[in-house]
Structure 1
Amino acid sequence: MSNQICCVVGCTNTYKNTTNVSFFRFPGKPHEILQKNKWIQAVKRKSSNNQPWKPNQNSRICSEHFIDGKPSKHPNSPSFYPTIFPKIYKQNVPAQESVSRFNRLQKRKSCNTIISTNSRISNNLTVSNELVCPDVVEHTEDKSTQTSMNLINNSFEFSCVFSNNNVNTQANIVGLDSIYFKLKMVDKCEGSVNYDILEYFSGFKSLKNESHLISLCGVNFETFNIFLTYIDDQNYSKKSKEDRLLLSLVKLKLGISFTSISIFFNLHRSTCSRIFKNVLKMLAVATKKFVFWPSKKSIVSTLPQSFKQHYPNCRVIIDCTEIKTEQPPHVDQRAFMYSHYKSAFTCKFLVGIAPCGMIIFVSKAYGGRASNSFITNDSGLLNLLEPGDQVMADKGFPGIKTSVNEKNSILVMPPFILMEFLQKMKL
């Protein structure tokens, strides 16, 4: 750390002799090759053998060479690469090069305002249909920014005579190319980028209506805003908490890879993974209280009409859900996690649902090898039942009938499944 020095020629900043100055490594990740080349071109250094200079792991550039005081990852930002350099970087531009540069600029549309006129103009004046604003030159400030021209403060003298619709103008214009160069410098170096008008997916701001949010995340704006209150503000993250929540819900809803998500949100894959895990922990803690076991009175008061007619005492509908996982590294873990039903490595959860559709019970995670009956008996759900309660289940839970009966409750299963189970018990 103490040996850090700035690699810019003429810059004397080091870690020892400066305060409030940061030193930044050259971008070295595979997706940062463009930015790294921009930095190398801006530094304009050469090796001792006159070969192109290449930075090493110890090469640093200090914060004084960036407009914002630190580099930016956005390619349109003025701090995408260093632009503030000592005066040694400035060079006088030959006259011939200035003329050729002006001719090239004439072919471009450098100004947004074009003056069209139908008046008769004296043949002694060569007319340019581009607006030239001398006020831009009058307030020039030298910031020691790397450039390849010297700006000249030029003066203009006009004398005009107006007669009907005819205009006669005499003008003394010197160094017109300097004015155009200054306009280009303001646009490229000191102008700010309006990110709101960029035409690409920019996170939460790109969602136009609620249907877009539901398609990406599976929730509406009301639910999204509720989740948003549980997300902490993180000043060190360049993404807003809306974008971080959106990223996490997209991952949960669509199940696409972090590499795909990184393209949408203009982030690195590992950053997307870190954001997802962080948000998931916050949501898990906050929403844990959303799942609770309601009273029997609440269940009865919210029974759908079809349940009131046929299953008036139904307390809970149970089923197990499985989530595929990666292959565990150890043999005993593979045996514990492998599900013959899914032919894959899975985690299993027991989910209890009230007749009205509300999730009222979620068990801990079990390996895919565990049977539905074992999970039900081990999860503690049966201890919540009251005498006379009906438990509705499918064909995967024949082994819990005895345990349910011990609670003076009733197991409701499809008739043909129950008959098949009773016949096996008799045999």
Structure 2
Amino acid sequence: MVHTCVVTGCRNRRTPGTGLSFYRFPRDPDRKQRWIEAVNREGWIPNDGSRLCSTHFISDFSPPVFPHAGKQVKNPRSPDYVPSVFTTAPLSPEMKEPGALEILDKQEDRVEAANALLFLQGQGSAAVGERLQEEHPEEKEQEAIVEESASSSLSTDDEDDDESVSDSKKGKFDAAVNFEDILKALKKENQALRESVEKMSLSENFLRNDAEKVKFYTGLPNYFVLETVMWLLAPHMDGMKNVRLSKFQQLLLTLMRLRLDLRNQDLAYRFGVKVGIVTRTVHQMVNIMSSTLVPTAVFWPSRAELRKNLPAALRTSHPDCAVIIDCFTVPFEEPVSRGNQQQHQQQQRAAATSQGAGTSHNVLKYLIGVAPQGVVTFVSRGVLGNVSDKTLAEGCGFLCKLLPGDIVLASRNLDIADSVAARGALFKIACSYQGETCGSSEGSQLADSSSEMVSVPRHVERVISMVKRRYAMLTGPVESPFTTASERTSNLSTFDKIVQVACALNNLCISAAPLE
């Protein structure tokens, strides 16, 4: 079946050797309707035999005869997804006189040209030929063209038809080969783009085999430790409903929140989710890590374990040292909760009238205990900063950890010596340098006993500084949603759990702060 182009004014039809392509109208209803609108024939509807030639597309797949012919493309972003070239299409050499083509086919045209050549050769003379050559030199050129056409037509008319068919097949074959090459190139480019996107997306591939990225985004020393934490938490994350983020991305988002103190809106942009999803994910992951990771990484070691790994600075002077304690504070934005605003205001007035009030009431105070080996073994819940150290130490459960004979060291007097003694333990103050007057006779003897004790007062400060440096969220100010109790059955706020989780993650790092 001979196909002709349906565009008004376009007389192109399928002819061997021209290299033109004729395309069916798309099956997709939307794209098909756009093609019909582009053809712009009022009231016309295409049928199964309707075709559109390649001269109405602009892609660079031009045959030699039609240097502006293109090719349809199925990519919606391509300009050739819909035909757009509708100027008067050039006619092929065989179709410049459509009236003749309606009467004669190609073979008849060649026979007619041969007869005309024989007539001219029989009727003309040399003189007339010379005169015609002088007056009309272009006619000789035309005669030579007609003669060549006739001779080729008379000699091998059938062979020429075969050659046209073979040329057509060859053109199709070349086009197929080019198409395969283009397809391979596009697949290769697509794969490269996928790999690039995966490397840039916040997923496992983004951090795998790159310890520096792991340290920057999570605070953990390497991907192996991060993978171990993921393995520990994964079974407890099955109840979390989040179809947009994988389990790994939920953990990474939470660690980035703690590590870089990024706001929820920032994380929402980075992970391509809504702010509400970020908020819910952080709270859920903090609860899971508090109940799973903290008991595993923050625990009170046995006395035998402490003595086995006791640093040389305390081995001779205080082999029974169980913990070194101190307090640290974190500022918050507003009162801890709306329910106790009246109590908070009373505490503010009491702090203002107290002579010894040196701590701001706009902070949360925590008691931290550090083993001589440099790991955190105890973290209290947060209380308002104007609460005394003694009240905090006696009410946070720290004293319950002590055994008779344990020694508790501190860099300053926390006024808990009597409370510690009631547990059968001993509280001592380590001076910052030899000869300094300490708060007790035991402290003076401790300062004079060994020059190695110079590093003891700064031991807890070094650990606290390391935890805050590793997880910037602990530097504050704490946002109000994190200061309210996360569960009705618990007196711990979400930020209390964040402090404990940060200490647990710090204990997993190789660079703990040993007592020198």
TM-score bucket (shorter structure): 0.5 to 0.7
Cα distance in 1 between the residues matched to 2:55 and 2:348: 69
CA deviation after TM superposition for structure 1 residue 249, in Å: 0.4
* 3-state DSSP of counterpart to 2:325: strand
Cα distance in 2 between the residues matched to 1:221 and 1:274: 25
Are the structure 2 counterparts of residues 92 and 276 from structure 1 closer, same or farther at C-alpha, using a change threshold of 3 Å?
Answer: same
Cα distance in 2 between the residues matched to 1:305 and 1:380: 29
Cα distance in 2 between the residues matched to 1:297 and 1:393: 22
Cα distance in 2 between the residues matched to 1:416 and 1:197: 54
Cα distance in 2 between the residues matched to 1:361 and 1:101: 79
* 3-state DSSP of counterpart to 1:303: coil
1:261 aligns with 2:201: no
Cα distance in 2 between the residues matched to 1:283 and 1:236: 17
* 3-state DSSP of counterpart to 2:408: strand
How many residue pairs match? The answer is: 290
* 3-state DSSP of counterpart to 1:360: strand
**Residue 318 of structure 2, aligned match among 308, 311, 317:** 311
1:379 aligns with 2:396: yes
Partner of 1:239: 245
State the identity as a percent: 20
Partner of 1:281: 287
Partner of 1:125: 65
Deviations 1:115-154 (A, max 9, x none): 9xxxxx9xx7345798x69xx99xxxxxxxxx8679xxxx
Contact 2:389 2:414 in 1 (8 A): no
More strand by share: 1
Cα distance in 2 between the residues matched to 1:276 and 1:160: 73
* 3-state DSSP of counterpart to 1:292: coil
After TM superposition, the score normalised by the length of structure 2 is: 0.46
Deviations 1:15-73 (A, max 9, x none): xxxxxxxxxxxxxxxxxxxxxxxxxxxxxxxxxxxxxxxxxxxxxxxxxxxxxxxxxxx
1:222 aligns with 2:224: yes
Partner of 1:401: 417
Which deviates further from its counterpart, 91-100 or 300-309? 91-100
CA deviation after TM superposition for structure 1 residue 92, in Å: 1.0
Question: Larger Rg: 1 or 2?
Answer: 2
Q: Quick one: which amino acid aligns to residue 314 of structure 1? A: C
**Residue 412 of structure 1, aligned match among 413, 428, 440:** 428
Cα distance in 1 between the residues matched to 2:216 and 2:202: 14
**Residue 293 of structure 1, aligned match among 278, 282, 300:** 300
Deviations 1:353-402 (A, max 9, x none): 2111222222233222212221112223223323332111122x431122
Contact 1:159 1:171 in 2 (8 A): no
Contact 2:429 2:440 in 1 (8 A): no
Cα distance in 2 between the residues matched to 1:202 and 1:385: 48
* 3-state DSSP of counterpart to 1:398: coil
* 3-state DSSP of counterpart to 1:225: helix
Cα distance in 2 between the residues matched to 1:348 and 1:413: 20
Partner of 2:408: 391
Cα distance in 1 between the residues matched to 2:30 and 2:277: 36
Q: Quick one: which amino acid aligns to residue 381 of structure 1? A: F
Are the structure 2 counterparts of residues 414 and 235 from structure 1 closer, same or farther at C-alpha, using a change threshold of 3 Å?
Answer: closer
Partner of 1:203: 202
Q: Quick one: which amino acid aligns to residue 212 of structure 2? A: S
Partner of 1:332: 343
CA deviation after TM superposition for structure 1 residue 222, in Å: 2.7
Cα distance in 2 between the residues matched to 1:170 and 1:408: 101
Q: Quick one: which amino acid aligns to residue 344 of structure 2? A: Q
**Residue 37 of structure 2, aligned match among 93, 114, 133:** 93
Are the structure 2 counterparts of residues 89 and 332 from structure 1 closer, same or farther at C-alpha, using a change threshold of 3 Å?
Answer: farther
CA deviation after TM superposition for structure 1 residue 195, in Å: 4.5
Are the structure 2 counterparts of residues 102 and 88 from structure 1 closer, same or farther at C-alpha, using a change threshold of 3 Å?
Answer: closer
Cα distance in 2 between the residues matched to 1:386 and 1:235: 44
Q: Quick one: which amino acid aligns to residue 371 of structure 1? A: S
Partner of 1:365: 382
* 3-state DSSP of counterpart to 1:272: helix
* 3-state DSSP of counterpart to 2:282: helix
Cα distance in 1 between the residues matched to 2:398 and 2:171: 93
Are the structure 2 counterparts of residues 271 and 383 from structure 1 closer, same or farther at C-alpha, using a change threshold of 3 Å?
Answer: closer
Question: Mind listing any 5+ residue stretches in structure 1 that lack a counterpart?
Answer: 1-83, 116-120, 138-146, 151-157, 162-166
Cα distance in 1 between the residues matched to 2:379 and 2:277: 30
* 3-state DSSP of counterpart to 1:300: helix
Deviations 1:274-297 (A, max 9, x none): 111111111111123223222211
Q: Quick one: which amino acid aligns to residue 247 of structure 2? A: K
Contact 2:56 2:83 in 1 (8 A): no
Q: Quick one: which amino acid aligns to residue 206 of structure 1? A: F
Are the structure 2 counterparts of residues 200 and 159 from structure 1 closer, same or farther at C-alpha, using a change threshold of 3 Å?
Answer: farther
Contact 1:322 1:347 in 2 (8 A): yes
Are the structure 2 counterparts of residues 168 and 250 from structure 1 closer, same or farther at C-alpha, using a change threshold of 3 Å?
Answer: same
Cα distance in 2 between the residues matched to 1:367 and 1:332: 11
Q: Identify the structure with bigger relative contact order (alpha carbons < 8 Å, sequence gap 6+).
A: 2
Contact 1:323 1:346 in 2 (8 A): yes
* 3-state DSSP of counterpart to 2:256: helix
Contact 1:337 1:367 in 2 (8 A): no
Q: Quick one: which amino acid aligns to residue 244 of structure 1? A: Q
Q: Quick one: which amino acid aligns to residue 371 of structure 2? A: A
Partner of 1:56: none
User: Could you say what the CA RMSD is over the residues aligned between the two structures, in angstroms?
Assistant: 4.7
Partner of 1:349: 366
